[in-house]
Amino acid sequence: MNLEQEIRRRRTFAVIAHPDAGKTTLTEKLLLFGGAIHVAGAVKSNKIRKTATSDFMEIEKQRGISVATSVMGFEYRHRKINILDTPGHQDFAEDTYRTLTAVDSVIVVIDAAKGVEPQTLKLMNVCRMRRTPVIVFINKMDREGQDPFDLLDDVERQLHVNVSPVTWPVGGGAAFKGVYNLREGSLRLFTSQEKQTVAESIRISDLHSDELDRQTGKHAGKLREDLEVVQGVYPPVDTEAYRTGQQAPVFFGSALNNFGVSELLDHFIDIAPAPKSFEAEERTVHPEEPKMSGFVFKIHANMDPNHRDRIAFLRICSGAFRRNVPYFHVRLGKSLKFANPTSFMADKKSVIDEACPGDIVGIYDTGNFKIGDTLTEGEQIRFKGIPSFSPELFRYVENADPIRYKQLAKGLEQLTDEGVAQLFVSQSNGRKIIGTVGALQFDVIRYRLEHEYGASCSYLPMSLYKACWLESDEKSVLDDFKRRKWQFMATDKEGRDVFMAESAHALTASQEKFPGIRFHFTSEF
């Protein structure tokens, strides 16, 4: 295997969006057009229709939403494509934030009727901080929506990125007929009233030709006007500007009706960046380096409930990962060997012998890994930027079935290792506290405890504002703070001190009164 050639042909990206923008549907159609699956599933499923490939957890199938990041890999046009389908719901944003640390580029899905929504804004802020290249797919053009120019203005104004349309819609809503590809000068139209059949591209080199009128009918005049404005106002795609996060190519289409997806996929693999360099605390790690390094960005317990397996998702950053070769676990300071590393198609796994930078490898884990852990061939490096965020919702967790105490303890330990929530122990009464960034996480934890661990729990409300980690250069100052605030102190799973502020005012007052203490709102400090 030529490592450099393998690196150049990889494309690892995430699909992100506000809930219900059509993110998982687009992922499913990318798999379909890429030849990875033969029948596309439905997110809102019934008993007959197949559920989406990337929504494999039982609770996802029941609720019709993604609650965990799925990893899917396939080959397309001599490229190795790795897609990470992320949860859109804000209650699972932390999983998405961490996933964005493991990808080289992003496709943002926007609902044509709603434009840029709050969760899209938050996710885009993370992309901008990391200068992650972004492509925009404006979805649901077959439904009544906003004017395409208004949508482009909305994207530029709210996402703070210059846009460059690559395709342009012909009609919209019930009158949506297809898209014109500005890059290729070609037209692609529906060929049936049901809008399930897509014609071959029709090349139209001259927009003033009669062929455009024959193909688009009454839409020809409006299309000519629109394209004249587009070509006069928006610059063509600049690959370098895109790869540095300054420009976003824009595609219009309907993922549900398979429309505009193949244009997106073909253009994406041409311009999207190959695996990039990663910053470690000690140095920059380049993918072409011969020695393997990678980091764990996600842990998933019970991917197969029958076997109670726990999988750590490892992003390969440099070198080649090989089966049955010992690698150094930096945090534990010991070597580990992996007999069954896997690649993924959502919950379907296949054992691999080798993986390259850009690939996501699943490692069976017996409790050795935590999110952010690094594997190397011996070098002591730690990759940056994979934090846990300060929770804002808190509940005491109570065991509802004393006989199943061990199952509850194991379930809480493993599920909070995944990063779906954080577990604290109150120093005043010894009770366990679950902290999350969204209310829906509590339902997911209770559901999974019951169905995956045979344990049941109940929650008692807590009126707290925020949890923050503490740090001080003077031990006496920290000890004094902990003594004064003992009823609001807790420890996290790593044994670190955490201040559970009961209100915004209490937090501000504490910061002012104890200037020698640093209050951190992520666990990475």
Query: Per mean pLDDT, which of 238-247, 339-348, 448-457 is the most reliable?
Result: 238-247
Mean pLDDT across the stretch 219-226? 91
CA distance 166 to 182: 5
The dihedrals phi and psi of 106, each to the nearest 5 degrees, come to -145, 145
CA distance 280 to 273: 20
**In the predicted model, is pLDDT for residue 55 greater than 50?**
no
Q: Supply the pLDDT for residue 150.
A: 97
Q: By mean pLDDT, which of 34-43, 125-134, 284-293, 438-447 is the weakest?
A: 34-43
Q: Supply the pLDDT for residue 304.
A: 56
Contact present, 465 and 501 (Cβ < 8 Å): yes
Which residue did the predictor score with more confidence, 31 or 335?
335
CA distance 399 to 407: 10
**In the predicted model, is pLDDT for residue 288 greater than 90?**
yes
CA distance 375 to 274: 21
Q: Computed over its alpha carbons, how large is the radius of gyration of the chain?
A: 25
488-496 long-range contacts (CB < 8 A, ≥24 apart) are 488/428, 489/426, 489/427, 489/428, 490/424, 490/425, 490/426, 490/427, 490/433, 491/424, 491/425, 491/427, 492/422, 492/423, 492/424, 492/523, 493/413, 493/416, 493/417, 493/422, 493/423, 494/523, 496/469, 496/523
Q: Residues 468, 491, 464, CA angle at the centre, nearest 5°?
A: 50
- Domains parsed from the chain with CATH numbers: 3-168+235-271 (3.40.50.300), 278-376 (3.40.50.300), 393-520 (3.30.70.3280)
pTM: 0.78
The dihedrals phi and psi of 288, each to the nearest 5 degrees, come to -75, -10
Mean pLDDT across the stretch 93-118? 87
Q: What is the pLDDT of residues 473-507, one digit of tens each?
A: 999 999 999 999 999 999 998 899 999 999 999 99
- Tokens, residue 68: 């965990």
Q: Give the list of residues 6+ apart from residue 321 with CB closer than 8 angstroms, or none.
A: 292, 294, 314, 327, 341, 354, 355, 356, 359, 361
